[in-house]
Amino acid sequence: MKKLPIGIQTFEKIRTGNYAYIDKTAIALRLIQKGEYYFLSRPRRFGKSLFLDTLQDIFESKKALFTGLKIYDKWDWETTYPVIKISFGAGLHNGKTAQEALDKTIFSILERNKKALNVSCKNRNDAKDSFAELIEAAYHQHGSVVILIDEYDKPILDNITDKKIATQMRDHLKNIYSVIKECDKYIRFVFITGVSKFSKINLFSGLNNLNDITINKNYATICGYTHHDLQTTFKDHLQGVDMELLRDWYNGYNYLGEPVYNPFDILLFISNGARIYKNYWWSTGNPSFLLKLLQEKTWYIPELAHYEVDETIMDSFDVDHISLVALLWQTGYLTIKEERQGMFGASYLLGTPNREIQTSLNALFIAYLTTQTDESLKIRHRLVEQLQSSDMQGMESEIRRLFASIPYNNFTNNDIQNYEGYYASVLYAYLASLGFEIIAEDTTNHSRIDITLKLEDKTYLIEIKAVNKSTGKALEQIKEREYFLKYQGINEVYCVGMEFCKEDRNLCLFEWEKF
């Protein structure tokens, strides 16, 4: 049985160490043959670094490592290219000395490349000039140069909550990356990858030939594991595993082709005995920047579950204008659920990729909306039991308890207790964090249901209203517009009307009927 390549980003180590490997060399060959300048955005721990390392070994003609792989008999192993590899993945560049630390890192990286290529350059004080000279020297000594840049955006993301320093990082890196355009005549191939997707104007000015393959269906599986990969390469590791449950938990990242799994999830799941489903990938990150962005604007959380955007919004991330939706998409908390073509071009419906992200992201939203921590998990456990047993009285009591436990000062910001969207957001975040299928703004032939929650044997249709005093109109609306007809006959349907009193900041009417 092949070993699990947990944390291994070196192609040679995987190929010589009896580790499981998903062959991505056919994709690499297609890239090399069809173009010269590429950009790829993928979430953290998705296999970007390993793919870059694979490219390096191809260009350096390490033929023996590729025995049995798809590229083996299709590549000219007699030709070797000088490779300049730059990675900002290690260490942090933040705080007041961030730019100084970044310069030190850049000079260190350039020095390592000089030694690897056995070229000599003048000792310059300017990082841009040093980079340019390295490219030219490598070209004159070895031929056309290959440039691979990994985690190109990390120095910026390290400072994303400090706009001033993040801007300094961006502008400094922009100056460095401008060298690539200036040295075009010396370059054979460029591949740049990272998590975020900065505007070309603001970071890659002049690189108009940079081909962004982030949502190109031909490269949808360039990183990550497909379901077929799990059924073949990891077959022995997944004996007895419910593959559909595994898919539900960890699959679903969609880049307009076959959906993929985050490799980190699968490797950790297997290493834990292939039986413990939990939030492996989420727990390794630090989404504190999301809370900061959430605090800058009052968000209607259910809207994020089916947010429709065009390519302009998806590409609009920058220090000067940080779009929460764009950042959620680029960092892997949202993915493409559907591509649509309209009169104004393509648009994309975004949503959470799988159960891991759905539960974790909405738990984060709970923290933002309610500042609850200790009680949150207890409430969620009780809600699961009540929903599964159709304990409507218990559910009503739990929801009252939930809102009663929210600190009063949460309501002092923008008088949010007067807005239906706040109550809907809190309730949606709790219900979505339970892992059941949930639909916000569920469309029917008459109107939209605020929240539809689907369990295996029952469906809950929930209408929410913020009122000065109870009216009974929430449940009445469900019945008048016959929302239940959409699901009647499939399983048990519970129609629930909830009214929240603005003055009391809590549930003042909970009505329900079973259809």
Q: Name the nearest CA neighbour of 130 among 81, 183, 94.
A: 183
Q: In angstroms, what CA-CA distances link 424 with 404, 419, 506?
A: 15, 9, 12
Co-location of 132 and 85 in the same domain:
yes
CB 350 within 8 A of CB 325: yes
Co-location of 186 and 95 in the same domain:
yes
Domain boundary among 202, 219, 236: 219
- On whether residue 325 sits in a domain, the answer given is no
| Terminal CA-CA length for the chain | 53
Instruction: Check residue 299 and give its pLDDT.
Output: 73
Instruction: Check residue 457 and give its pLDDT.
Output: 93
- pLDDT tens digit sequence for 180-197: 999 999 999 999 999 988
Co-location of 215 and 249 in the same domain:
no
Co-location of 169 and 234 in the same domain:
no
Q: How far apart are CA 470 and CA 473, in angstroms?
A: 8
Co-location of 385 and 506 in the same domain:
yes
Co-location of 77 and 150 in the same domain:
yes
This prediction's pTM: 0.90
Amino acid at 23: D
- On whether residue 289 sits in a domain, the answer given is no
- On whether residue 409 sits in a domain, the answer given is yes
Tell me which residue has tokens 């010269």: 36
Please state at what angle helix 127-142 crosses helix 163-182, rounded to 10 degrees: 30
Co-location of 234 and 211 in the same domain:
no
- On whether residue 319 sits in a domain, the answer given is no
List, in sequence order, every residue forming a beta bridge with 448; answer none if it has no partner.
443
CB 336 within 8 A of CB 350: yes
- On whether residue 349 sits in a domain, the answer given is no
Domain boundary among 201, 219, 237: 219
Domain of 18, CATH number, reads 3.40.50.300
Instruction: Check residue 367 and give its pLDDT.
Output: 81
Co-location of 124 and 270 in the same domain:
no
Domain boundary among 236, 265, 283: 283
Co-location of 264 and 409 in the same domain:
no
Domain of 509, CATH number, reads 3.40.1350
Co-location of 247 and 273 in the same domain:
yes
What share of residues in the chain are helix, strand, coil (percent, to 5)?
45, 20, 35
Q: In which order are the strands placed within the sheet that holds 37-41?
A: 83-87, 145-150, 187-194, 37-41, 211-212
Instruction: Check residue 377 and give its pLDDT.
Output: 82
- On whether residue 255 sits in a domain, the answer given is yes
- On whether residue 240 sits in a domain, the answer given is yes
Which one-letter DSSP state was computed for residue 19? B
Q: What is the pLDDT along the chain (515 residues), one digit of tens a residue?
A: 899 999 999 999 999 999 999 999 999 999 999 999 999 999 999 999 999 999 999 999 999 999 999 999 999 999 999 999 999 988 778 777 888 889 999 999 999 999 999 998 877 788 899 999 999 999 999 999 999 999 999 999 888 888 899 899 999 999 999 999 999 999 999 999 999 887 665 777 767 788 999 999 999 999 999 999 999 999 999 999 999 999 999 999 999 999 999 999 999 999 999 999 999 998 887 666 777 777 776 677 888 878 888 877 777 677 877 788 888 898 899 999 999 887 778 899 999 999 999 999 998 888 878 876 667 888 889 999 999 999 999 999 999 988 888 876 655 555 555 678 889 999 999 999 999 999 998 988 888 999 999 999 999 999 999 999 999 999 999 999 999 999 988 889 999 999 999 888 899 999 999 99
- On whether residue 437 sits in a domain, the answer given is yes
Co-location of 94 and 155 in the same domain:
yes
CB 199 within 8 A of CB 318: yes
Q: How far apart are CA 412 and CA 407, in angstroms?
A: 10
Number of domains in the chain: 3
Domain hosting 27: range is 11-219
Strand 187-194, strand 211-212: pairing: unpaired
Co-location of 422 and 274 in the same domain:
no
